[in-house]
Structure 1
Amino acid sequence: MAHHNLDLLDKKILRLIAGDARIPFLEVARSCNVSGAAIHQRIQKLTNLGILKGSQFIVDPEKVGYETCAYIGLYLQNPAKFDDVVEELKKIPEVVECHYTTGGFDMFIKIYARNNHHLLNIIHDQLQPLGLSRSETVISFNAAINRQIPISELPVDDEYDEAEEGDDAEVVTE
């Protein structure tokens, strides 16, 4: 995977928008002491590099009736069928994450179900037919930590100078 170094302006922008995805770009520009156009350019650059993957509203699964969160380790009868199994998992809306892993599991998935009975039905009716030799399920009672990677810990490519000539971070004068 490509690693991209970020300057201080990129990190500050990421910190602000990661804290509140609905923050107006003009407010980000004021906080960074640069023009709104510079923020738009930086956001576009971060998106094009794949650092930003869009913005979204987070739905609380429990509030809409999905009370059971489970992590399931999958053991495939035929591990060569990874890609086929992933395509089938994409068709199960309750599967919200799928990871290839090291260790004993061939895959590890995160799933939300309305309750334990619904979870059992998903495992029996939708997962087992995918060619599993077996699975191991762990039910989560509650997420104690759920956060994004800390932006302040990211490496800095070069210290940006707001007044540096040729920088796309125009200084805002009021």
Structure 2
Amino acid sequence: MAVDALDARILRLLLDQPRTSVREYARILGVARGTLQARLDRMERDGVITAAGPRISPVALGHPVLAFVRIEVTQGHLDDVGDALATVPEIIEAYSITGGGDLLTRVVARDNAHLEDIIQRLIQLPGVVRTRTEIALRERVAHRVLPLVEAVGRRAQESRPAPSGRA
């Protein structure tokens, strides 16, 4: 699904002002409310907009330790291990990957001892061969999408045909 310049403007506004009404977004953008709603519906249907809700901080929930745990899995057990990971509440993301390991997880914990308990639980899952853990020290770039949206919007704007020069 191609994102055009108006879509990019809508996405930027959603990121900048997530609690604004559709009517207000339409007013700010200078488009009809129906046009805006149709664009939002299409972008949701096409998977461009994947969530609408608050981002909740694991730190505020008492889990300030963040670690990335690579998991090596016995061949043929990737789906089983993935299903088992979904039962561990401290795993907030998991991806199958290439390179060193088969799965990469993002894990939060109350403290280092709690992290060790989580890792021990992971090691005991059927199909897990070994894990490798890296603890995050400080966030350097927070989760963001706005710079990407802006880059896509610029490319869409630049690729628009120039208006004809009739006199």
Q: Of 124, 145, 150, which residue of structure 2 is paired with 1:129?
A: 124
The residue that corresponds to 1:116 in the other structure is: 112
Query: Within 1, Cα distance between the matches of 2:43 and 2:61?
Result: 33
- CA-to-aligned-CA distance 1:72-122 (integer Å, 9 cap, x gap): 11111x131111111110111110111111111111100001111111111
Runs of 5+ consecutive residues of structure 1 not aligned to the other structure: 161-174
- Secondary structure of the structure 2 residue equivalent to 1:136: strand
Which structure has the higher relative contact order (CA within 8 Å, separation 6+)? 1
Residue of 39, 43, 46 corresponding to 2:43: 46
- Output aligned runs, 1:9-158, within 5 Å: 9-76=6-73, 78-124=74-120, 126-130=121-125, 131-149=127-145, 150-154=148-152, 155-156=155-156
Q: Tell me the TM-score normalized by structure 2.
A: 0.86
Equivalent AA in structure 1 for residue 55 of structure 2 = I
Identity of aligned residues (%): 26
- Which residue in the other structure is 1:8 paired with? 5
Contact 2:71 2:104 in 1 (8 A): yes
Partner amino acid, structure 2, of 1:129 = Q
Measure, in 1, the Cα distance between the counterparts of 2:115 and 2:16: 33
Cα RMSD of the aligned pairs, angstroms, is 1.7
Q: Equivalents in 2 of 1:79, 1:24: separation in Å?
A: 49
Cα contact 2:67–2:134 (8 A) shared by 1 = yes
CA drift of 1:156 comes to: 2.1
The alpha carbon displacement at 1:159 in A equals 4.2
Give a deviation string over 1:109-154, Cα, whole Å, max 9, x none. 0000111111111111x20122322111011122110132320111
Once the two structures are TM-superposed, the CA of residue 48 in structure 1 deviates from its matched residue by: 0.5
Tell me which amino acid in the other structure corresponds to 1:128.
Answer: I
User: With structure 1 as the length reference, what TM-score do the two structures score?
Assistant: 0.83
How many residue pairs match? The answer is 155
Q: Which runs of 4+ in 1 moved over 4 A?
A: 157-160
Query: Which structure 2 residue ranges, 5 or more long, are not aligned?
Result: 162-167
